[in-house]
Structure 1
Amino acid sequence: MPIRKANLKDVESVVLLWKEFMRENNSFKSKEVLKVDQFNNDASNLFRKFVINNIKSKNSVVLVAEEKSKIVGFIQAQIKDNLKVYKVKKIGHISDLFVKRNYRKRNMSSVLKNFAFKWFKSKKIKYVSLQTEIRNKLAHKIYEKWGFFEHNLTLYKKL
């Protein structure tokens, strides 16, 4: 299972995986959350631009996992400015991590995470954040095993 940096030729494969990721992710969302998190008609194009920017930027990395020359997983990681009131000035952020269902339980997400962490460390990043659906207990368990801890809870109210 080779892991490598994505290039511009990989963008469409990553977008297709993201669509699968979002369909699966929606299964964890309540009806109320789905009302807030509805994608607009241009979501795929916007995500495509996001991936391209992440591939080109020195402050982000897109890594892909391959099986028989087919991309079956990906991770996107960025370096973000922290709020100026805090001592920690830069935070690593994992915006996307997904492995196709048929390729899970092979440690692929851990390997992708390890490559991203190595990249963060090369950039002198000390802390990494990510977000996950509150009802996705399996993801929570994996992230806690990796050493992540809870920090914020975002609440919404319809007016």
Structure 2
Amino acid sequence: MLAGALDTSATVVEWTLAVLQKSQRVLKKVQQELEEVVGLDRMVEESDLEYLNYLNMVVKEALRLHPAAPLLVPHAAMENCSVDGFHIPKNSRVIINVWTIGRDPNAWSDPEKFIPERFIRSNIDVKGHDFQLLPFGSGRRGCPGVQLV
């Protein structure tokens, strides 16, 4: 579990830094927010995170485009059901592709673009309650590290 947590965390940080490097406009806004909220004379502390709204949007957007695990842990259908017109028999193994969900044009406008502002008036969270953003999975098979977010 520790190895999985370290590797996925490092991957998310690397992708976030990479997309920030590509989007200088977003990088400048994050830097400005950090200077205003935290200042230049100290490190960011956990207590600062609730006031770093734009940084939170950047992390959500990075997780939308680059989830640490593009395929979730397999689930099993507990009963016969139908999803979007497809019949799923009981006990079928279901694998959710969160990479594709994050790029679904039916759920996101300009899905291939890095636009953190799409979360401004949105209460979508990363904890698995909103099925268009599932970087940690959802339900009983969700990532145990989601509690640290």
Greater strand share, 1 or 2? 1
Q: What is the TM-score with the length of structure 1 in the denominator?
A: 0.28
Greater helix share, 1 or 2? 2
Q: What is the TM-score with the length of structure 2 in the denominator?
A: 0.29
